[in-house]
C-alpha cells in the first residue's frame, strides 16, 4: 500500500491553449479513477505528468496509448505485451491510456476481469462505457480549463449533469417569462400615463388643475423596471455560464440525401463461396457466404488478425486483394468508408472546401448550412485547414461528407477508437438516422447496440461464418 498521493496546484498549458490550471486532489490507495474530456483536453498529458509527480517509493506501471515497441505485433498484441511488463513489477499504481483500443472481444473481457481484480490504485484515460461502468468509482472531467471531480459511477455523473441542466434551463425559461411580463406591465403603465397626460392637457385648456401624478408614477415605474431588468440580466448571465460548464454535447440532426433511401429491400452485397488472398498468394479467408440488404446493419466480429479488415478491403475491391467465388457489391462511388484515421479527408483542404468538393452543385449558403448541422458554425471553423483539426472534428467532417452525398453502403472500420465521449455520441446520432446499409467492424458492444446493429458475421479460423441474429436489450 502507498500513502495518499497529494496533487497541489497542477497546471497544464501550451503556447496555443490552456488545458487546466490550479488543480489539487488527493488520491488514496485503492482509488479507481477515470480521466475523461474532449480530444485534445490534456488527458494523456495529465497521465504522463503523474509519472513525474508521484513519490519514488511508489511502484508505477504505465501503458501508453500508442505502443511503439514490438513492431511485428498487432495493436492488441503490443498492448498485452506492455501491460504484462507493467504488471510484472506488482505496481501500487497502474496508469493506462485508452487500454481497450484495438482489443478484440476476448482480450477486452480478460482486461475487464484483471481491472476488477486489481487491488492497487488505478488511473485510466478511457471513453469505453463498459470500463467506465464496471471498473471506476471516481471521475476527473477536464473541461473549460478546469478538472471537475465526481465521486460515483459514470451513469450517476451524467444523470446529475442532466438534472442540473434541466433545472438551469427551467430557471432561464422562468426569467424569460418574468422579463416579458415586466415589459408588458411597463407598456401598460406608459399607455395609462399617456392617457392621463392627455387628460391633464385637456384640463389646462378648460382652466382646471393639471394632473402631474401620473407622469411621476410612470417615471417611477420605468426606473423600477430598469432595475429589475438589470437584475434579470445579471442572473441570466450567471445561469448561462453555469449551463456552459455542464458541457453536455450538442445534438447533431443531419439531413441526408435520398439516394440511399430509395433502394427498397434490394440486396447490396452478395458473396457466395468466396475466398480472399493477397497478391503474394497467402489465403486469408475462404468459404465466405455473406449478404447484406439495403438498410441492414451488420457487424463483422473476430479476434485480432482474423481477417475482418481484409474482408472489407475485398468488398471495396482493392487492387492488392485476389478474390475467387461469386462477388457482387456496389460500385466504389456508392460506398462510403470511415476508419479511425479519416483517410477520406484531404488534409490540404479547408472544412468548407471539403464539402464544396463533395457537392459542387451546392451554393456557398447551402454548404454553410450543411456544415452548421455538424457544428461547424463560425468563419474560423469552416475555413480551418483539415490538417489542424482534432480527431473529433475530423470525425464530424467525415460524417458531414456522408450526409452530403449519401452512399448506399457505409463501411466503418473501428472508427470509434480514440474518440472522446462527446464525439462518440455525435457519431451515434448520425448513424442512427443514416438511411443506407452499414457494415461495421467494432469490438464496442455498446456502440453496436446504440446504432441498431442486429446481426453479425464471425471471422474465425480462416472462415467467415454465417450471419447470427443478436439479441437486443
The enclosing domain of 456 has a CATH number of: 3.40.50.300
Q: For 341-397, what is each residue's pLDDT tens digit?
A: 888 899 999 999 999 999 999 999 999 999 998 889 899 899 999 998 877 788 889
How many other β-carbons are positioned within 10 Å of the β-carbon of residue 426? Answer: 23
| Same domain assignment for residues 140 and 27 | yes
**pLDDT, position 469:** 44
Classify residue 37: in a domain, yes or no: yes
Within-domain flag for 458: yes
Q: CA 47 to CA 135: how far, in whole Å?
A: 18
pLDDT at 249: 57
Three-class secondary structure of residue 257 per DSSP = coil
Q: Is the dihedral of CA 363, 365, 368, 374 positive or negative?
A: negative
- What does the alpha-carbon distance between residue 287 and residue 300 come to, in Å, rounded to a whole number? 15
Give dist(CA 381, CA 349) in Å, integer: 13
Instruction: Tell me, yes or no, whether 380 and 293 share the same domain.
Output: yes
Indicate whether this model's pTM tops 0.75: no
* 218/215 Cα distance (integer angstroms): 5
Residues 344 and 370 in one domain: yes
Judgement on whether residues 195 and 281 belong to the same structural domain of the protein? no
d(CA 455, CA 320): 29
Domain boundary among 246, 269, 302: 246
Instruction: Examine the domain organization and report whether 387 and 304 are in the same domain.
Output: yes
Domain annotation covers residue 251? no
The pLDDT value given to residue 4: 94
Q: Return the C-alpha cell found at 313.
A: 478491403
The whole domain housing 132 covers 5-144
Which pLDDT value is given to residue 135? 92
Low-confidence ranges of the chain (pLDDT < 70): 16, 183, 185-186, 189-190, 193-229, 232, 240-250, 257-265, 465-473
pLDDT value at residue 219: 57
Say how many domains are in the chain. 3
Same domain for 83 and 214:
no
Which of 222, 246, 270 is at the close of a domain?
246
Do you know the residue count of the chain? 473
Residue 153 lies in a domain: no
* Of residues 110, 459, 144, 90, the one with CA closest to residue 308: 459
- 49 shares a domain with 22: yes
Amino acid at each position: 500500500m502507498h500513502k495518499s498521493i497529494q496533487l497541489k496546484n497542477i497546471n497544464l498549458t501550451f503556447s496555443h491553449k490552456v488545458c487546466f490550471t490550479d488543480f489539487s486532489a488527493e488520491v488514496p490507495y485503492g482509488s479507481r479513477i477515470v480521466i475523461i474530456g474532449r480530444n485534445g483536453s490534456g488527458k494523456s498529458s495529465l497521465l504522463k505528468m503523474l509519472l513525474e509527480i508521484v513519490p519514488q517509493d511508489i511502484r508505477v506501471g504505465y501503458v501508453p496509448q500508442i505502443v511503439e515497441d514490438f513492431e511485428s505485433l498487432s495493436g492488441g498484441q503490443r498492448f498485452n505485451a506492455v501491460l504484462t511488463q507493467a504488471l510484472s513489477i506488482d505496481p501500487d499504481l497502474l496508469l493506462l491510456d485508452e487500454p481497450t483500443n484495438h482489443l478484440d472481444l476476448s482480450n477486452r473481457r480478460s482486461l475487464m476481469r484483471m481491472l476488477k481484480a486489481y487491488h492497487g490504485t488505478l488511473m485510466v484515460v478511457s471513453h469505453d462505457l463498459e470500463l467506465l461502468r464496471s471498473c471506476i468509482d471516481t471521475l476527473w472531467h477536464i473541461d473549460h480549463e478546469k478538472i471537475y471531480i465526481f465521486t460515483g459511477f459514470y451513469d450517476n455523473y451524467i444523470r446529475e449533469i442532466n438534472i442540473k441542466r434541466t433545472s438551469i434551463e427551467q430557471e432561464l425559461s422562468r426569467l424569460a417569462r418574468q422579463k416579458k411580463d415586466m415589459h408588458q406591465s411597463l407598456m401598460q403603465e406608459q399607455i395609462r400615463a399617456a392617457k392621463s397626460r392627455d387628460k391633464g392637457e385637456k384640463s389646462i385648456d378648460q382652466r382646471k388643475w393639471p394632473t402631474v401624478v401620473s407622469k411621476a408614477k410612470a417615471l417611477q415605474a420605468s426606473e423600477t423596471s430598469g432595475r429589475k431588468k438589470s437584475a434579470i440580466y445579471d442572473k441570466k448571465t450567471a445561469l448561462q455560464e453555469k449551463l456552459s460548464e455542464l458541457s453536455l454535447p450538442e445534438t447533431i440532426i443531419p439531413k441526408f440525401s435520398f439516394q440511399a433511401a430509395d433502394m427498397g429491400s434490394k440486396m447490396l452485397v452478395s458473396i457466395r463461396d468466396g475466398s480472399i488472398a493477397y497478391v503474394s498468394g497467402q489465403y486469408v479467408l475462404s468459404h465466405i457466404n455473406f449478404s447484406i440488404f439495403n438498410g441492414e446493419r451488420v457487424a463483422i466480429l473476430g479476434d485480432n488478425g482474423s481477417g475482418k479488415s481484409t474482408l472489407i478491403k475485398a468488398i471495396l475491391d482493392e487492387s492488392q486483394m485476389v478474390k475467387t467465388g461469386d462477388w457482387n457489391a456496389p460500385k466504389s462511388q456508392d460506398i462510403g468508408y470511415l476508419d479511425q484515421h479519416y483517410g477520406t479527408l484531404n488534409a490540404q483542404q479547408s472544412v468548407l472546401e471539403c464539402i464544396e468538393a463533395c457537392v459542387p452543385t451546392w451554393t456557398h449558403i447551402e454548404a454553410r448550412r450543411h456544415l452548421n448541422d455538424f457544428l461547424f458554425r463560425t468563419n474560423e471553423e469552416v475555413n480551418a485547414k483539415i490538417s489542424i483539426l482534432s480527431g473529433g472534428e475530423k470525425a464530424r467532417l467525415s460524417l458531414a461528407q456522408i450526409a452530403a452525398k449519401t452512399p448506399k453502403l457505409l463501411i466503418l472500420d473501428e472508427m470509434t477508437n480514440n474518440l472522446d465521449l462527446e464525439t462518440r455520441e455525435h457519431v451515434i446520432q448520425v448513424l442512427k438516422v443514416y438511411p443506407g446499409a452499414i457494415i461495421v467492424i467494432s469490438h464496442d458492444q455498446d456502440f453496436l447496440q446504440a446504432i441498431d446493429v442486429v446481426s453479425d458475421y464471425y471471422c474465425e479460423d480462416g472462415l467467415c461464418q454465417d450471419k447470427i441474429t443478436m439479441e437486443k436489450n
